Structure 1
Protein backbone atom coordinates (compact mmCIF):
# COMPACT_ATOMS: atom_id res chain seq x y z
CA UNK A 1 0.00 0.00 0.00
CA UNK A 2 1.26 3.44 -0.94
CA UNK A 3 -0.30 6.76 0.03
CA UNK A 4 -0.01 10.46 -0.71
CA UNK A 5 -1.48 13.38 1.24
CA UNK A 6 -2.44 16.22 -1.09
CA UNK A 7 -3.52 19.79 -0.45
CA UNK A 8 -2.81 22.49 2.09
CA UNK A 9 -5.68 23.82 4.21
CA UNK A 10 -8.15 21.03 3.35
CA UNK A 11 -6.18 17.92 2.61
CA UNK A 12 -7.13 14.72 0.82
CA UNK A 13 -5.63 11.26 1.23
CA UNK A 14 -4.90 9.14 -1.88
CA UNK A 15 -4.15 5.45 -1.27
CA UNK A 16 -2.96 3.02 -3.92
CA UNK A 17 -4.00 -0.54 -3.07
CA UNK A 18 -2.37 -3.57 -4.58
CA UNK A 19 -4.54 -6.53 -5.52
CA UNK A 20 -5.97 -8.13 -2.39
CA UNK A 21 -5.20 -5.21 -0.05
CA UNK A 22 -7.98 -3.74 2.11
CA UNK A 23 -8.69 -0.60 4.12
CA UNK A 24 -11.73 0.68 5.97
CA UNK A 25 -13.13 4.09 6.87
CA UNK A 26 -15.94 5.86 8.66
CA UNK A 27 -19.01 6.40 6.49
CA UNK A 28 -19.10 9.69 4.63
CA UNK A 29 -15.38 10.29 4.09
CA UNK A 30 -14.97 8.80 0.60
CA UNK A 31 -13.71 11.19 -2.09
CA UNK A 32 -13.14 8.83 -5.05
CA UNK A 33 -12.17 5.30 -5.94
CA UNK A 34 -11.14 3.32 -9.00
CA UNK A 35 -13.62 1.02 -10.70
CA UNK A 36 -11.46 -1.91 -9.63
CA UNK A 37 -12.14 -1.21 -5.94
CA UNK A 38 -14.88 -3.24 -4.26
CA UNK A 39 -16.85 -1.37 -1.57
CA UNK A 40 -18.65 -3.23 1.18
CA UNK A 41 -20.60 -1.42 3.89
CA UNK A 42 -21.32 -3.46 6.99
CA UNK A 43 -22.33 -3.28 10.62
CA UNK A 44 -18.97 -4.07 12.20
CA UNK A 45 -19.59 -5.94 15.45
CA UNK A 46 -23.13 -6.85 14.45
CA UNK A 47 -26.27 -5.09 15.70
CA UNK A 48 -24.77 -4.64 19.18
CA UNK A 49 -21.67 -3.01 17.73
CA UNK A 50 -23.75 -0.78 15.47
CA UNK A 51 -25.92 0.34 18.41
CA UNK A 52 -22.84 1.12 20.48
CA UNK A 53 -21.40 3.16 17.63
CA UNK A 54 -24.61 5.16 17.20
CA UNK A 55 -25.08 5.99 20.89
CA UNK A 56 -21.49 7.26 21.06
CA UNK A 57 -22.02 9.54 18.07
CA UNK A 58 -20.20 7.42 15.48
CA UNK A 59 -21.62 6.27 12.16
CA UNK A 60 -23.51 2.99 12.47
CA UNK A 61 -21.45 1.36 9.73
CA UNK A 62 -17.90 1.19 8.45
CA UNK A 63 -16.98 1.13 4.77
CA UNK A 64 -14.47 -1.49 3.64
CA UNK A 65 -12.52 -1.12 0.39
CA UNK A 66 -10.70 -3.95 -1.39
CA UNK A 67 -8.61 -4.09 -4.54
CA UNK A 68 -10.30 -7.29 -5.64
CA UNK A 69 -9.05 -8.19 -9.11
CA UNK A 70 -6.30 -5.62 -9.75
CA UNK A 71 -4.59 -2.59 -8.26
CA UNK A 72 -6.59 0.58 -7.74
CA UNK A 73 -6.82 3.79 -5.77
CA UNK A 74 -9.22 5.08 -3.15
CA UNK A 75 -9.19 8.60 -1.71
CA UNK A 76 -10.70 10.33 1.31
CA UNK A 77 -11.35 13.92 2.30
CA UNK A 78 -11.49 15.67 5.67
CA UNK A 79 -14.80 16.98 7.04
CA UNK A 80 -13.27 20.33 8.00
CA UNK A 81 -10.35 22.48 6.84
CA UNK A 82 -7.42 20.67 8.35
CA UNK A 83 -4.61 18.17 8.01
CA UNK A 84 -4.25 14.40 7.78
CA UNK A 85 -1.81 12.64 10.10
CA UNK A 86 -0.47 9.13 9.30
CA UNK A 87 0.12 6.88 12.31
CA UNK A 88 2.31 3.79 12.15
CA UNK A 89 0.57 1.76 14.82
CA UNK A 90 3.57 -0.45 15.63
CA UNK A 91 5.04 2.64 17.32
CA UNK A 92 2.18 2.81 19.85
CA UNK A 93 0.42 0.41 22.18
CA UNK A 94 -2.84 2.15 21.27
CA UNK A 95 -4.14 5.63 20.45
CA UNK A 96 -7.32 7.27 21.73
CA UNK A 97 -8.92 9.27 18.91
CA UNK A 98 -11.75 11.80 19.04
CA UNK A 99 -14.80 10.24 17.39
CA UNK A 100 -14.78 12.55 14.31
CA UNK A 101 -10.99 12.48 13.87
CA UNK A 102 -10.64 8.89 12.64
CA UNK A 103 -10.36 8.81 8.85
CA UNK A 104 -9.31 5.34 7.71
CA UNK A 105 -6.96 2.45 8.45
CA UNK A 106 -5.61 -0.84 7.19
CA UNK A 107 -7.64 -3.90 8.15
CA UNK A 108 -4.85 -4.96 10.54
CA UNK A 109 -5.64 -1.90 12.70
CA UNK A 110 -8.57 -2.39 15.08
CA UNK A 111 -11.06 0.37 15.93
CA UNK A 112 -12.82 -0.03 19.28
CA UNK A 113 -15.44 2.19 20.88
CA UNK A 114 -14.39 3.69 24.21
CA UNK A 115 -17.20 6.19 24.81
CA UNK A 116 -17.03 9.17 27.15
CA UNK A 117 -13.75 8.35 28.99
CA UNK A 118 -15.72 7.90 32.20
CA UNK A 119 -17.28 11.38 32.26
CA UNK A 120 -20.83 12.34 31.29
CA UNK A 121 -20.76 16.10 31.73
CA UNK A 122 -20.25 18.93 29.29
CA UNK A 123 -16.89 20.33 28.23
CA UNK A 124 -17.72 23.75 26.83
CA UNK A 125 -20.25 22.05 24.56
CA UNK A 126 -17.86 19.21 23.62
CA UNK A 127 -18.38 15.69 24.88
CA UNK A 128 -15.18 13.68 25.27
CA UNK A 129 -16.25 10.77 23.07
CA UNK A 130 -13.22 8.76 21.97
CA UNK A 131 -12.42 5.61 20.04
CA UNK A 132 -9.31 3.44 20.34
CA UNK A 133 -6.94 2.38 17.57
CA UNK A 134 -4.57 -0.53 18.13
CA UNK A 135 -2.81 -3.21 16.17
CA UNK A 136 -0.29 -3.03 13.35
CA UNK A 137 -0.21 -1.10 10.10
CA UNK A 138 -1.17 2.39 9.07
CA UNK A 139 -4.05 4.49 10.37
CA UNK A 140 -4.92 8.06 9.40
CA UNK A 141 -6.57 10.73 11.51
CA UNK A 142 -7.93 14.14 10.54
CA UNK A 143 -6.96 17.16 12.64
CA UNK A 144 -9.04 20.33 12.25
CA UNK A 145 -7.01 23.41 11.39
CA UNK A 146 -3.28 23.04 12.00
CA UNK A 147 -1.70 20.04 13.72
CA UNK A 148 -0.15 20.70 17.11
CA UNK A 149 1.83 17.56 18.00
CA UNK A 150 3.03 17.70 21.61
CA UNK A 151 5.59 15.25 23.00
CA UNK A 152 5.24 15.10 26.77
CA UNK A 153 8.22 14.12 28.89
CA UNK A 154 7.76 11.75 31.87
CA UNK A 155 5.67 13.57 34.47
CA UNK A 156 5.09 16.62 32.25
CA UNK A 157 1.48 17.85 32.34
CA UNK A 158 -0.57 20.11 30.09
CA UNK A 159 -4.17 21.30 30.42
CA UNK A 160 -6.13 21.28 27.18
CA UNK A 161 -9.54 22.62 26.19
CA UNK A 162 -11.41 19.42 25.27
CA UNK A 163 -12.54 20.87 21.94
CA UNK A 164 -8.92 20.95 20.82
CA UNK A 165 -7.98 17.39 21.84
CA UNK A 166 -7.78 15.26 18.68
CA UNK A 167 -5.87 12.20 19.92
CA UNK A 168 -3.34 10.93 22.45
CA UNK A 169 -1.39 7.72 22.86
CA UNK A 170 -2.19 5.28 25.63
CA UNK A 171 0.97 6.12 27.60
CA UNK A 172 -0.52 9.54 28.34
CA UNK A 173 -2.57 9.67 31.54
CA UNK A 174 -5.92 11.40 31.06
CA UNK A 175 -7.82 13.15 33.86
CA UNK A 176 -10.61 15.69 34.14
CA UNK A 177 -9.80 18.94 35.92
CA UNK A 178 -12.41 21.49 36.86
CA UNK A 179 -11.62 25.15 36.34
CA UNK A 180 -11.05 27.01 39.59
CA UNK A 181 -13.01 30.14 40.42
CA UNK A 182 -16.62 31.06 39.71
CA UNK A 183 -15.75 33.71 37.12
CA UNK A 184 -13.39 31.38 35.29
CA UNK A 185 -16.00 28.63 35.14
CA UNK A 186 -19.07 30.61 34.10
CA UNK A 187 -17.76 33.77 32.48
CA UNK A 188 -14.51 32.65 30.87
CA UNK A 189 -16.21 31.06 27.86
CA UNK A 190 -14.09 27.88 27.95
CA UNK A 191 -16.49 25.56 29.72
CA UNK A 192 -16.28 24.08 33.21
CA UNK A 193 -13.54 21.52 32.73
CA UNK A 194 -10.18 20.96 31.08
CA UNK A 195 -8.48 17.76 30.02
CA UNK A 196 -5.38 17.11 32.13
CA UNK A 197 -2.77 15.11 30.19
CA UNK A 198 0.38 13.78 31.81
CA UNK A 199 3.31 12.20 29.95
CA UNK A 200 5.32 10.43 28.83
CA UNK A 201 3.63 10.27 25.43
CA UNK A 202 2.30 12.13 22.40
CA UNK A 203 -0.77 14.34 22.09
CA UNK A 204 -2.30 15.68 18.87
CA UNK A 205 -4.29 18.92 19.12
CA UNK A 206 -6.70 20.68 16.76
CA UNK A 207 -5.97 24.37 16.29
CA UNK A 208 -9.57 24.76 15.10
CA UNK A 209 -12.26 24.25 17.74
CA UNK A 210 -15.40 23.04 15.96
CA UNK A 211 -17.68 24.21 18.79
CA UNK A 212 -16.12 27.68 18.71
CA UNK A 213 -16.47 27.82 14.93
CA UNK A 214 -20.16 26.94 15.28
CA UNK A 215 -20.69 29.82 17.71
CA UNK A 216 -19.06 32.28 15.30
CA UNK A 217 -21.08 31.06 12.31
CA UNK A 218 -24.36 31.02 14.23
CA UNK A 219 -24.32 34.82 14.35
CA UNK A 220 -24.63 34.85 10.55
CA UNK A 221 -27.30 32.17 10.24
CA UNK A 222 -30.89 33.31 9.62
CA UNK A 223 -33.14 32.97 12.63
CA UNK A 224 -36.57 31.39 12.33
Structure 2
Protein backbone atom coordinates (compact mmCIF):
# COMPACT_ATOMS: atom_id res chain seq x y z
CA UNK A 1 0.00 0.00 0.00
CA UNK A 2 1.25 3.46 -0.93
CA UNK A 3 -0.33 6.77 -0.01
CA UNK A 4 -0.08 10.52 -0.50
CA UNK A 5 -1.67 13.36 1.46
CA UNK A 6 -2.72 16.31 -0.70
CA UNK A 7 -3.80 19.86 0.07
CA UNK A 8 -3.20 22.35 2.82
CA UNK A 9 -6.22 23.33 4.94
CA UNK A 10 -8.73 20.80 3.56
CA UNK A 11 -6.61 17.76 2.95
CA UNK A 12 -7.38 14.56 1.09
CA UNK A 13 -5.78 11.14 1.41
CA UNK A 14 -4.95 9.15 -1.74
CA UNK A 15 -4.23 5.45 -1.21
CA UNK A 16 -2.97 3.15 -3.95
CA UNK A 17 -3.99 -0.46 -3.37
CA UNK A 18 -2.22 -3.37 -5.01
CA UNK A 19 -4.00 -6.71 -5.36
CA UNK A 20 -4.13 -8.23 -1.88
CA UNK A 21 -4.10 -4.88 -0.08
CA UNK A 22 -7.20 -4.10 2.00
CA UNK A 23 -8.25 -0.91 3.73
CA UNK A 24 -11.18 0.01 5.97
CA UNK A 25 -12.73 3.36 6.87
CA UNK A 26 -15.57 4.96 8.72
CA UNK A 27 -18.66 5.48 6.58
CA UNK A 28 -19.00 8.90 4.95
CA UNK A 29 -15.25 9.45 4.37
CA UNK A 30 -14.99 8.28 0.75
CA UNK A 31 -14.17 10.90 -1.88
CA UNK A 32 -13.56 8.70 -4.95
CA UNK A 33 -12.28 5.31 -6.10
CA UNK A 34 -11.23 3.80 -9.40
CA UNK A 35 -13.62 1.29 -11.03
CA UNK A 36 -11.42 -1.72 -10.23
CA UNK A 37 -11.88 -1.18 -6.49
CA UNK A 38 -14.20 -3.52 -4.63
CA UNK A 39 -16.07 -1.90 -1.72
CA UNK A 40 -17.98 -3.86 0.93
CA UNK A 41 -19.87 -2.44 3.91
CA UNK A 42 -20.36 -4.57 7.00
CA UNK A 43 -20.15 -4.50 10.80
CA UNK A 44 -17.12 -6.24 12.31
CA UNK A 45 -17.56 -7.93 15.65
CA UNK A 46 -21.17 -8.96 15.08
CA UNK A 47 -24.01 -7.57 17.18
CA UNK A 48 -21.76 -6.83 20.13
CA UNK A 49 -19.42 -4.77 17.96
CA UNK A 50 -22.35 -2.89 16.47
CA UNK A 51 -23.70 -2.02 19.92
CA UNK A 52 -20.32 -0.87 21.20
CA UNK A 53 -19.79 1.32 18.17
CA UNK A 54 -23.30 2.77 18.37
CA UNK A 55 -22.71 3.57 22.04
CA UNK A 56 -19.42 5.34 21.22
CA UNK A 57 -21.09 7.55 18.60
CA UNK A 58 -19.17 6.03 15.67
CA UNK A 59 -20.85 4.68 12.57
CA UNK A 60 -22.18 1.17 13.13
CA UNK A 61 -20.78 -0.08 9.80
CA UNK A 62 -17.32 0.11 8.28
CA UNK A 63 -16.39 0.28 4.60
CA UNK A 64 -13.74 -2.12 3.28
CA UNK A 65 -11.80 -1.50 0.05
CA UNK A 66 -9.56 -3.79 -1.99
CA UNK A 67 -8.18 -3.92 -5.51
CA UNK A 68 -9.79 -6.54 -7.74
CA UNK A 69 -6.95 -6.29 -10.29
CA UNK A 70 -3.95 -4.07 -11.00
CA UNK A 71 -3.31 -1.03 -8.78
CA UNK A 72 -6.41 0.89 -7.73
CA UNK A 73 -6.77 4.31 -6.09
CA UNK A 74 -9.11 5.27 -3.25
CA UNK A 75 -9.39 8.84 -1.95
CA UNK A 76 -10.73 9.99 1.41
CA UNK A 77 -11.60 13.43 2.69
CA UNK A 78 -11.93 15.09 6.08
CA UNK A 79 -15.17 16.37 7.62
CA UNK A 80 -13.60 19.71 8.63
CA UNK A 81 -10.76 21.95 7.43
CA UNK A 82 -7.70 20.37 8.93
CA UNK A 83 -4.89 17.90 8.44
CA UNK A 84 -4.56 14.16 7.88
CA UNK A 85 -1.84 12.30 9.79
CA UNK A 86 -0.42 8.87 9.03
CA UNK A 87 0.21 6.92 12.25
CA UNK A 88 2.63 3.98 11.86
CA UNK A 89 1.50 1.71 14.68
CA UNK A 90 4.75 -0.24 14.60
CA UNK A 91 6.36 2.97 15.87
CA UNK A 92 3.70 4.25 18.26
CA UNK A 93 2.07 1.04 19.48
CA UNK A 94 -1.51 1.19 20.71
CA UNK A 95 -3.24 4.48 19.90
CA UNK A 96 -6.34 5.98 21.53
CA UNK A 97 -8.29 8.11 19.05
CA UNK A 98 -11.17 10.53 19.56
CA UNK A 99 -14.27 9.04 17.99
CA UNK A 100 -14.53 11.46 15.04
CA UNK A 101 -10.78 11.68 14.35
CA UNK A 102 -10.39 8.18 12.88
CA UNK A 103 -10.32 8.20 9.06
CA UNK A 104 -9.12 4.81 7.80
CA UNK A 105 -6.52 2.10 8.35
CA UNK A 106 -4.91 -0.94 6.79
CA UNK A 107 -6.80 -4.18 7.33
CA UNK A 108 -3.95 -5.48 9.54
CA UNK A 109 -4.89 -2.84 12.14
CA UNK A 110 -7.15 -3.86 15.01
CA UNK A 111 -9.86 -1.25 15.60
CA UNK A 112 -12.45 -1.08 18.36
CA UNK A 113 -14.08 0.92 21.13
CA UNK A 114 -11.97 2.07 24.07
CA UNK A 115 -14.58 2.42 26.80
CA UNK A 116 -14.27 2.95 30.55
CA UNK A 117 -16.34 1.84 33.50
CA UNK A 118 -15.39 4.95 35.47
CA UNK A 119 -18.64 6.95 35.33
CA UNK A 120 -16.76 10.14 36.16
CA UNK A 121 -15.19 10.13 32.73
CA UNK A 122 -18.57 10.12 31.00
CA UNK A 123 -19.45 13.37 32.76
CA UNK A 124 -16.72 15.10 30.79
CA UNK A 125 -18.87 15.26 27.67
CA UNK A 126 -17.93 14.81 24.02
CA UNK A 127 -14.76 12.95 23.20
CA UNK A 128 -14.50 10.82 26.35
CA UNK A 129 -15.48 7.59 24.65
CA UNK A 130 -12.60 6.78 22.34
CA UNK A 131 -11.65 4.17 19.79
CA UNK A 132 -8.33 2.35 19.69
CA UNK A 133 -5.92 1.35 16.94
CA UNK A 134 -3.21 -1.27 17.33
CA UNK A 135 -1.27 -3.70 15.18
CA UNK A 136 1.46 -3.69 12.55
CA UNK A 137 -0.11 -1.45 9.89
CA UNK A 138 -0.74 2.27 9.41
CA UNK A 139 -3.77 4.18 10.60
CA UNK A 140 -4.87 7.62 9.43
CA UNK A 141 -6.48 10.27 11.59
CA UNK A 142 -8.03 13.64 10.79
CA UNK A 143 -7.12 16.60 12.99
CA UNK A 144 -9.44 19.61 12.80
CA UNK A 145 -7.69 22.93 12.22
CA UNK A 146 -3.96 22.92 12.91
CA UNK A 147 -2.17 19.99 14.50
CA UNK A 148 -0.98 20.62 18.05
CA UNK A 149 1.17 17.82 19.44
CA UNK A 150 3.14 17.44 22.63
CA UNK A 151 5.47 14.77 23.97
CA UNK A 152 4.89 14.20 27.67
CA UNK A 153 7.63 12.90 29.94
CA UNK A 154 6.80 10.31 32.58
CA UNK A 155 4.59 11.98 35.18
CA UNK A 156 4.20 15.18 33.14
CA UNK A 157 0.58 16.24 32.66
CA UNK A 158 -1.56 18.76 30.80
CA UNK A 159 -5.21 19.73 31.21
CA UNK A 160 -7.14 19.72 27.92
CA UNK A 161 -10.68 20.66 26.92
CA UNK A 162 -12.32 17.33 25.92
CA UNK A 163 -13.32 18.52 22.45
CA UNK A 164 -9.72 19.33 21.51
CA UNK A 165 -8.37 15.80 22.04
CA UNK A 166 -7.59 14.07 18.72
CA UNK A 167 -5.42 11.13 19.79
CA UNK A 168 -2.75 9.97 22.20
CA UNK A 169 -0.48 6.98 22.59
CA UNK A 170 -1.66 4.10 24.74
CA UNK A 171 0.74 4.75 27.64
CA UNK A 172 -0.84 8.15 28.35
CA UNK A 173 -3.20 8.11 31.33
CA UNK A 174 -6.42 10.10 30.99
CA UNK A 175 -8.68 11.23 33.81
CA UNK A 176 -11.44 13.79 34.12
CA UNK A 177 -10.89 16.75 36.38
CA UNK A 178 -13.64 19.14 37.37
CA UNK A 179 -13.12 22.75 36.34
CA UNK A 180 -11.92 24.70 39.35
CA UNK A 181 -14.14 27.51 40.65
CA UNK A 182 -17.90 27.91 40.36
CA UNK A 183 -17.56 31.04 38.20
CA UNK A 184 -15.21 29.22 35.83
CA UNK A 185 -17.57 26.23 35.62
CA UNK A 186 -20.74 28.12 34.78
CA UNK A 187 -19.53 31.32 33.14
CA UNK A 188 -16.12 30.45 31.66
CA UNK A 189 -17.65 28.99 28.51
CA UNK A 190 -15.37 25.92 28.52
CA UNK A 191 -17.64 23.39 30.18
CA UNK A 192 -17.58 21.74 33.58
CA UNK A 193 -14.68 19.33 33.06
CA UNK A 194 -11.18 19.11 31.64
CA UNK A 195 -9.21 15.98 30.83
CA UNK A 196 -5.85 15.46 32.53
CA UNK A 197 -3.42 13.65 30.23
CA UNK A 198 -0.32 12.29 31.97
CA UNK A 199 2.78 10.89 30.27
CA UNK A 200 4.80 9.19 29.11
CA UNK A 201 3.58 9.47 25.53
CA UNK A 202 2.56 11.76 22.70
CA UNK A 203 -0.68 13.74 22.46
CA UNK A 204 -2.28 15.18 19.29
CA UNK A 205 -4.85 17.97 19.67
CA UNK A 206 -7.38 19.69 17.39
CA UNK A 207 -6.89 23.46 17.29
CA UNK A 208 -10.59 23.81 16.26
CA UNK A 209 -13.65 22.01 17.55
CA UNK A 210 -16.92 21.48 15.71
CA UNK A 211 -18.85 22.80 18.71
CA UNK A 212 -16.95 26.10 18.72
CA UNK A 213 -17.29 26.44 14.95
CA UNK A 214 -21.04 25.76 15.14
CA UNK A 215 -21.36 28.40 17.88
CA UNK A 216 -19.61 31.05 15.74
CA UNK A 217 -21.58 30.16 12.61
CA UNK A 218 -24.79 30.15 14.63
CA UNK A 219 -24.25 33.79 15.58
CA UNK A 220 -23.86 34.73 11.89
CA UNK A 221 -26.90 32.69 10.89
CA UNK A 222 -29.04 34.33 13.55
CA UNK A 223 -27.87 37.82 12.58
CA UNK A 224 -28.67 37.04 8.92
CA UNK A 225 -32.27 36.20 9.80
CA UNK A 226 -32.80 39.34 11.83
TM bucket by the smaller chain? over 0.9
Q: SS of 2:221's equivalent? A: coil
- Does the alignment pair 1:163 with 2:189? no
TM-score by length of 1: 0.94
Is 1:27 aligned to 2:17, yes or no? no
Whether the 8 Å CA contact 1:41–1:62 is kept in 2: the answer is yes
| Residue correspondence of structure 1 range 40-55 to structure 2 within 5 A | 40-55=40-55
Secondary structure in 2 matching 1:219: helix
Alpha-carbon distance in 2 for matches of 1:129, 1:206: 16
Identify if the C-alpha distance between structure 1 residues 46 and 91 changes in structure 2 by more than 3 Å, giving closer, same or farther.
Answer: same
- Residue correspondence of structure 1 range 189-208 to structure 2 within 5 A: 189-208=189-208
> Could you state the TM-score of these two structures normalised by the residue count of structure 2?
0.94
Structure 1 unmatched runs, 5+: none
Distance 1:198 1:122, change over 3 A: closer
Q: Work out whether residues 176 and 196 of structure 1, in 8 Å CA contact, stay in contact via their aligned partners in 2.
A: yes
- Higher helix fraction: Structure 1 or Structure 2? 2
Task: Write out per-residue CA displacement over residues 20-54 of structure 1, whole angstroms, 9 at most, x where no aligned residue.
Answer: 11000000000011111100001111122112211
Preserved contact between residue 127 and residue 165 of structure 2 (Cα < 8 Å):
no
- 2 CA distance for matches of 1:30 and 1:192? 36
For structure 2, list consecutive stretches of 5 or more residues without a partner in the other structure. none
Please name the residue that 1:120 is paired with: 122
Q: Are the counterparts in 2 of residues 116 and 127 from structure 1 also a CA contact under 8 Å?
A: no
Paired residue for 1:77? 77
The equivalent residue for 1:95 is 95
User: 2:5: which partner in 1?
Assistant: 5
Query: Superposition RMSD on alpha carbons, in Å?
Result: 1.4
Q: Over residues 50-96 of structure 1, what are the superposed CA-to-partner deviations in whole Å (9 max), with x where a residue is unaligned?
A: 12211221101000000122211101000000000100001123111
CA distance in 1, matches of 2:106, 2:122: 31
Comparing 53-62 and 2-11, the one that deviates more: 53-62
Q: Give the distance between the partners of 1:103 and 1:200, measured in 2 at CA.
A: 25
